[in-house]
Structure 1
Amino acid sequence: MSLSADNLSPAELEMAMAIPRYPQLALPLIKYEMVHKLKCTRNERVSLPLLKHKHKPKGMGLAKAGKSTKSAANIGDVADEEDIIYLWNSPRLMILFDGGDINCAVHYIVQSLHDPFAENAVATLLIQECVLNEFIDRLSDRFQEMPAPIANHPIFLRSMEKIKALKATKIVGNAMKDTPNLVTPILVCDFSHNFLGAGPTGVITLHTFRTPKEATEVYLKESVKFSSVCIWNENLASAYEIVARIATVQIFLINCYDADLDPIKTAFITDENMVKVFRGYHYETITFRKMRKLIVFPIGNIWSNPF
């Protein structure tokens, strides 16, 4: 066989150069670097609270005098004092029942604790009394040091001072117990947000309950206007009881947290009753006591998702 590239077909050239078309051994999926040099990158980006600037004119009398006399000196004495007002960013209420998925609840609580000013972050947790100890045990080792932008923010510092002054019971990470100077997220027990100041506080308040009725009574003590409610409860009848009892919130997520609401958004906006199943989720929008409600929860089926 001639080795001249001009006289060989691609297949013959491949054989002549001893390059196998298909290797005999597959390349390993697990490499040395994946085991001994595993890289873990943590997303350090956090959200800051929404701001609203409020201008308060200072020296209104001088301003009026300046307008009447058209005196430049008097007009120059007018100064604007700017006050900053911090706003909630769609705060969420989470309710955990006995039998609910504690692991999922812990995951999203940890996420909200380390990024408390993010959109849809949990602001208040209601937990059934019988699962409180188990929840705390699973949560305590998940705390990490609070990101510097949050730990040094005036809102979080104010909340820390308020908690100290109130001598409130708080839940912190195990690492903070060993290292007092380490700033970790905080859950405040049995105090509502209005005790910690107006607007977002940078912490999560925690309350216990025994029955769904008691849960809604505890919820009414909070001054926060929640944009949605996340319920972890395998008993849908009990979860729907919460939906019926909470009259000031329209969006309810049962056994899920980041569900896509687009499939039911149009019906919700146009005030139309609708029930549909889409990609493994039950979507429902109904009117209850003259208020539009949107309910979402995952469902299981024996058919594969073609999408």
Structure 2
Amino acid sequence: MPPYTWRQPEFPGDGSDHKWLDPTLLVICQNADMESAIEPLLNSLKQPFAPRRVACIFVHETMRDAFCELMRSSMEIMHHQAASHSHYLRTVAMVKCLQAETVCLLTPDDINFRSKMTPGSPMIVCEFNQNFFGGGKPTSVVTMHTFRNASELPSLLINEQVPFVSAAIWGRKMASVYEAALQLDMTVVYINCHNVPLVPIREYFEFKQPHVVMAQYHHFEVIFHEGKYRMIVYPAKVFWEPSDGKVATDAEEEPPSEGKNKKPGHNKK
């Protein structure tokens, strides 16, 4: 047992300020439900040093102004230790040097003539990549890029050079949102949802077998696109349930394989 010490571990204590830990991407398409879309983003802005934080946002040009206005009205002051972290202070200085456009909390002066960033405010930095502020380490800020067509997404993603593990894409027109999902070189894509457990299709993905599953009021699928297997998840309406009212859970559903040595979809004999 290590000796007792009153000294608290260095914030945040999980190494997420030294290395990207499963960062995610947020994509806002036309007519997206932004109130739902920004929930994980707000958490990321308040405490940016943690696993699975949103590191970057792609916003359709028609949604940009409304998105920025909603974020300014929804932000909260950062966790006090995050606001005093050297990464954040260094990034604030670089933003000022670059004269970059930001979305942040503003405090007006005494006569409401001019406003400046509120101390400890989260920051969304517009049209700059993460490598301007921290390279391979988390920077404590979220970067934002504007796009016009889904075909622009791959170049934006490559320029960010962040090891994203998933993307959450939000929009009303399913065809457009799905097109955006296929443009991203991403293993996991959530459509109009986020952080849904992938248990129903995980084994199919590991066996590299395209498959579709309806479970937990979501549509799960494994697809093979441009030489890569991907998992895509989106909410699905349920128009029928068993007569006894029982709703199957992941644990109750028949597993995709009968044994460890059999592939998903193997027929029973």
Shared fold (TM-score, shorter chain, > 0.5): yes
- Percent identity between matched residues is 28
| Post-superposition CA distance 1:149-206 (Å, at most 9, x none) | 2111121122112112211111102458867552110000010000102211111001
Unaligned runs of 5+ in 1: 1-46, 53-84
Amino acid at match of 2:74: R
SS in 1 for 2:62: helix
Per the alignment, residue 194 of structure 1 pairs with 131
Cα distance in structure 2, aligned partners of 1:111 and 1:170: 18
TM-score, normalised to structure 2's length?
0.78
* Structure whose alpha-carbon radius of gyration is higher: 1
> Aligned to 2:74, which of 132, 142, 161?
142
> Aligned to 1:51, which of 7, 15, 18?
15
| Post-superposition CA distance 1:29-75 (Å, at most 9, x none) | xxxxxxxxxxxxxxxxxx837539xxxxxxxxxxxxxxxxxxxxxxx
How many residue pairs match? The answer is 228
Amino acid at match of 2:216: R
Contact 2:153 2:183 in 1 (8 A): no
Deviation at 1:137? 1.7
Amino acid at match of 1:299: A
RMSD over aligned Cα atoms: 2.2
Structure with the bigger RCO (C-alpha within 8 Å, sep 6+) is 2
Amino acid at match of 1:134: A
Cα distance in structure 2, aligned partners of 1:181 and 1:243: 36
Q: Does 1:285 align with 2:227?
A: no
Alpha-carbon distance change, 255 to 160 in structure 1, aligned in 2, over 3 angstroms: same
Alpha-carbon distance change, 106 to 243 in structure 1, aligned in 2, over 3 angstroms: closer
Unaligned runs of 5+ in 2: 1-10, 110-114, 248-269
Contact 2:48 2:140 in 1 (8 A): yes
Cα distance in structure 1, aligned partners of 2:177 and 2:55: 19
> Aligned to 1:303, which of 240, 247, 262?
240
Alpha-carbon distance change, 277 to 161 in structure 1, aligned in 2, over 3 angstroms: same
Alpha-carbon distance change, 89 to 175 in structure 1, aligned in 2, over 3 angstroms: farther
Cα distance in structure 2, aligned partners of 1:276 and 1:98: 27
Q: Which has the higher helix share?
A: 1
> Aligned to 1:245, which of 176, 180, 183?
183
TM-score, normalised to structure 1's length?
0.69
Deviation at 1:243? 2.7
> Aligned to 2:21, which of 70, 80, 89?
89
